[in-house]
Structure 1
Amino acid sequence: MQVIGLQAGASAPSAVIVDASLATINTETAAHTTAAPEASNATTPHALIQIVSPESVAAGARDVSTLVRTPGIVKLKFIEPGNNPRDYFDPKEMQELTDSVRVNGIAQAILIRPIGDGKYKIIAGERRYRAATAAHGDEYDMPVMIVDCTEEEADVLANIENTIRADMSPTEEGKSAAKILGQVKGDRDEAARLLSWSRSKLDSRVALMNCSEQVQKALNERVIKLGHAELFASLAKENQDKLLPAVIERGVTVNDLKSLIEKAASKLSAAIFDKTDCAGCQHNSSVQGTMFEACITDGSCTNSVCYKGKTEAALEAMKEGLKEEYPVIRIVRAGDNFAQVRIRAEGPGSVGEAQAEACRGCDNFGAAISAIPEHLGKAFKDQCFDPVCNQKKVAENIRAQTEAKAALAKATSGTADSKDSSKGAAQDKAKAKPAEVQTTVSEGDKVKEYRLGIWRGAMKKEVAKDYQLSVQYLIALAVTGNIRHVNQSGMTAVFERLTGEKKGSDLIAVANQVQQMGPDNLDTATKMLAVTAMNDLPETELTRLAKHVKLDLTKHWKMDAEFLNLFTKSQIELVAKQVGLDKALGDGFKKLFTEKKEPLIAKLLGVKDFDYAATIPPVLMYK
């Protein structure tokens, strides 16, 4: 499949394509549940030769410090490299390590995890693995510590293990941290906790992901210092690559580089905010050129605080402008890698038309606004902020398409000698229908509150119109201990309206007032006892009563502006389709969604002869 999305700070462009196959997804899924193989025997060779004190561990645990490490011996030929956060292995150091291993062997076990079929993948210790392979070949018995964990947990362990050894470069740390950040959906505090880092260290490391590939390589190989890389991270990647060779060749210090970048920063031509006020500003280098002989004359802003402040304000304004359309809008900054992918209905990396429609109502559906220099201010719409879920949906779509093609091929081959009409009928029969997808909008707090209010109101009306039902429910409420939910203030208001006077000061006084009430008023008061209980009855009990009475919500509700205003435009589109407005409007339906939210709602509610109470949207129904 292809996953297309906004990848902040990576060496490739921000809108990148990451190729993966269904087989890869299946392998990763299997790795989560594959147990360590038993000791080898004559008929079935396995990688594991010896296991000491084996213990089991639950895969998927979030706290990697609790994962059990089981010591053992595994031949090198059954071990393969993992997702090593380290990109650079110093040749001289590797040769020294290989020479040592050739004489002394491996003294410290490497960390591995089972991936099925008697194979293992390295979590930490690839340098020792390479040295042992070079020194002794793939039949060498390698000391190992086996951890049964998920790939995500392995990423965290690999980062922690390599960081503790204090020989990972900052960009290697940043790349690994950015991947973990994506796995926790951009929650930087959670990523820092998993890595046992301070928040400031995490922020500084992932910011290095805005360095170009060449700058990262130079830092990994210790050709430049961390200070150089941190300064380079403030520039667009193309400018980094232009400046890097000169910095290396001339031995430019960090302070000198800072001075150079200050001169090149804050180009007004790249600004995304209104530059009207900049025309006569004293911090505009073009204005300075009219006053000073030695100055920058390329239209730059020398007031970085002002420039950054206006840029941030412009990004926030863009975010605000998308709130009517999407439930989630995020400003993506350097290091926020792997956090979102583009949802596609068809083509490579697609989830299918039905699923793409369902995704529009999800809490993780939205838009990303780039705060990265190359794409500053660009909005990436129709994004999924749960890439793990997206990959699963893409895999399901690929599987469905594969099965449909196989069925069609079988049907075609089976009717090769038949008439065209029979062949066509067989082909139509073989076409697999897409899997049913439940399409509903997300249920935020406001939606839940609205839904509960609608159901309470409907139940009160049902009980109020049926004296016999109200008496039955009063008895049921009393027997189950729910009579306490009869609302005293509400009942007092009803009582005073029926009697035409204030309630008495004590029980006897009120009892005397009740005795003076006529039969009709007594019936009304009895019904209202049950009605007021509907106001405070727990939601679960309320819905059970509604199902018991077979409540028909179409008699108590119809779509209106209050309801539609609970949703974004993407969610409104889904709701409108659920009630049939797309069919009622025909070709004009899609065009309506170019409107702002308020006029859109007005036009959706103004369709002539449309019954807005005929269909209840799924989001208003209790399961």
Structure 2
Amino acid sequence: MTDTIEAEPQVAQAAPMIPLASITPAANPRRFFSPAKHEELVASIRLRGVLQPILVRPAGEGYAIVAGERRYRAAAEVYGRTGMIPAIVRTMTDQEALEAAIDENDIREDASETEQADAAVRVLAACGDDRAEAAKRLGWSTAKLDRRLALAGLSATVKAALDERRIKVGHAELLAAVPGDKQDRALETILSAGIDVAKTRELLQRMTQSLAAATFDKTECAGCGFNSARQKALFETHVEDGHCTNGACYTLKVEAAAKLAAEARPSPETSNSEGAADEVVPEAQASDDRLRSSPESSPVSKPGQGSTTSKPAAPAKAKVTVESLRAKLQTTRERAWRNAVAAVIADYADHLRIADLAATCVKSGAPFTFGQVMGLVSELEVDLRDHWRVDQAFLDQLGKDELKFIAIECGLVAHMGEKAFAKILGQTANSVAASMLAATGFDWAGRIPSAMSLDGKYGPPIAAEGVDE
């Protein structure tokens, strides 16, 4: 009892006692208050009273808390709203109150890194984006200010997880390197699977893109927050230097660079003209030669006709080859395989702890490289025949000679007969494609053209594997 009696007078002499009912909580940099710590503080106040006064400032007819909201909450639980609490009253501006609250929490190490980050954003704005001045007001180094500001871009869900200590600072630093629209899904996976910081870093590293291998101008990347070199300068936990953690942006830059390069090259004679037929390579040459040998397509010189007015020889036509089709259909092929892998991963929650995250990234094209997708194809034994088939959208990308190549390779010409197929070639390319799909008694299911397979070989239906069609 003596301890309690001595504690209260000492406080009273240092600060006046103010009714709890006259005090209101104000904007606090802290968002999370630990229930366990609250109960400990309540027990302490019941035993010894409030040992340290809170800091308030005048607000209307009462007071607003600047620092000490935990003590205020605990005292209100012990004494009720009619109770009293020791408080230092100080007239302060909004900005001065904010900086004092940040400083008090920083010293006590109560505020989380993300709570400090959001408060730092407010101070920086008040300083007109002057980082040196903001750091001075906060009593921080500019390096610490930069680290906290880098965490301000985390999603509200991730911030709450760190505030509540459900994840570690290392998790938050790694997630800060992930585009905002993917952070919540990544967090969900981390929490549900119990992935530690080291494993999270390893998984993120797999999904990055090497800037050294980039084919585009990297000038803009130097100061980008998704550049791991910048992340390394800010955070203790980061992926390897020289990588991009924003696969979507990386992919767009690669595509833009490829488009510019293509536009800069001289435009060759089109190989998919409606009125001219290109050569088809030897894989399907025998059937193609027979298709070309109709009387209408093989004019014969009449006796007595001279050659003095002969027309110049037509330029050689580009050949339709497996390689030319694979080059043309690369985007289509990669998209089909990405979708197939994403679908399989969704059924492998027990096989891969990153199932949800991986499925989203693989399907969108970011940030998994296609080489990594191919690795998953092997590991998960993905069969494209279960997820993709020849359709109108696929065939509409092709010219008539390319359609002919597909028809020969997939067995349609053998099924219809060469004369019957030769007749449909007189239509427009889109009509040829529609006629191919509508061929009586021919099933396209399970037929994977060489342009769509990973090994560049035709994939027949499963029932026909090992059987010549």
Q: Which TM class, normalised by the smaller chain length?
A: 0.3 to 0.5
Report 1 or 2 for greater relative contact order, CA contacts < 8 Å, sequence distance ≥ 6.
1
TM-score (norm 2): 0.44
Highest Rg: 1 or 2? Answer: 2
TM-score (norm 1): 0.34
